[in-house]
Amino acid sequence: MAKLYFNYSSMNAGKSTVLLQASYNYEERGMNTLLLIAAFDDRAGKGRIASRIGLAADADVFSAADDLFDHVVADRKNREIHAVLVDEAQFLTEEQVWQLARVADELRIPVMCFGLRTDFQGKLFPGSSALLAISDNLKEIKAVCWCGRKATMVARLDVDGNIVDEGDQVVIGGNETYISLCRRHWSEKNLGGQD
């Protein structure tokens, strides 16, 4: 039975690396994967998933208006699909999460989603909320705070490197924009060395 998986963490835990490794494992055995990433996340180039350690692969892009069940059905007309892997899954809509659940349930294709659980304000993203609610399998990928404890929170930084707690939920950026912290240091707005 195919399942809907949600692999979540804070920033810099290696989610994209794990996704690309899973895709490689399928492809090494002669199986096809369908990789998906949010259209507006173009840090590695439009339609490209990349990890901080240098792994990368092309991916189909999705926007909030796309029906991902229909997208998988259309792609299956050209080739057999053995797994669907979604990077930055926090940007899925609730409806798209249900569409991916249909891919697992009706098409019997495993769907592996990778994304953040919460935003810089400690609030669930809509896609993450739906995935936490209906996924068959939840797995936390561990990241580490500067203090050595598990990092579960993401802080957003301004251009001067100070933590901000207001603004749009989605601002695309990397290490210059976000830092992973344990809940204690996130609450204290402590970026390191001030224990």
Return the active site residues.
88
- Reported as type and span, the H/E element at residue 89 is none
> Which one, of 138, 136, 69, lies nearest residue 106 by Cα?
69
Q: Which residues contact 115 (CB under 8 A, 6 or more apart)?
A: 6, 7, 8, 15, 86, 87, 88, 89, 90, 91, 92, 125, 127, 128, 131
Q: Work out whether the CA dihedral 49, 54, 57, 58 comes out positive or negative.
A: positive
Q: Using the structure block, give the residue that is written with the tokens 């249900």.
A: 98
